Amino acid sequence: MPEQTPRSLNHFGFYRFTESFFGLNGKDRANIVSGLLKACRTTCEQIEIYQTSPARHDADILIWSALLADDPAMTREFFTRAGAALSGFRQWLQPAATLWGFTKPSQYTKSRSAQELDPFSKERKPYLVIYPFTKIQDWYLMSRDARQGMMNEHIRIGKEFPQITQLLLYSFGVQDQEFVVVYETDDLSLFSDLVYALRDTEARRYTKSDAPLYTAFHQSPEETLALWCTQAQGEE
């Protein structure tokens, strides 16, 4: 089995601030998001908060939670803590979408890739792209060798973009999609070039769905949340 990072659970929660939140003055909004950040940090060992609006119309922020999940009980404990932490903010923050899954060793590579995204890294790239992904049934009915050949082409193209890292999460049986695909990059235009290059690969024939796609922008959690606390002109 290839060397990989320890099994982890990664949860991506997309949220939008309510009209009630925006009806408050800047100081009150700042107090709310400060409490939100404090509550989020009680849920697991790694929390990142990204800006998603105005790149998306339906979500303002992304909360990325990552935790080791070697013990099956850790999953339930995380969801219990996360639900409790966010329940006090529902007047101000509404869920827009949720994507989550588990890491596990890839069956198509023999060693850990240098382009594997580490969810526990303290260094984050400026851009994050996340989407759900599902293959058609014919993919799973092919021989292992046939699938490996197509994935080799996919991997080869990915290596032409060494600045871009990827995290693949398995969501079989726990969400509507089969995978959650996560990319980190310093350059969104370069990432767009990668996606374009992958469009004419043989494996693309076996994609059933890979939308909706979320593009998110990284700063520190404090800086990201402060974006939503700007005092309007003339506001006291």
Per residue in 160-216, pLDDT (tens digit) is 999 999 999 999 999 999 999 999 999 999 999 999 999 999 999 999 999 999 999
Q: What is the per-residue pLDDT for 2?
A: 47
Report the percentage of the chain scoring pLDDT > 70.
95
In a domain, 198, yes or no: yes
Domain range spanning residue 186? 8-229
Domain containing residue 101: CATH number: 3.30.70.3420
Report the percentage of the chain scoring pLDDT > 90.
90
| Mean pLDDT taken over the chain | 94
Residue 163's contacts (CB-CB under 8 Å, 6 or more residues apart) are: 185, 186, 187, 190
Chain segment 14-54, per-residue pLDDT in tens: 999 999 999 999 999 999 999 999 999 999 989 999 999 99
| pTM of the full structure | 0.94
In a domain, 235, yes or no: no
CB atoms within 10 A of CB 12: 23
Number of folded domains that form the chain:
1
In a domain, 43, yes or no: yes
In a domain, 185, yes or no: yes
Euclidean distance between CA atoms 10 and 86, whole angstroms? 17
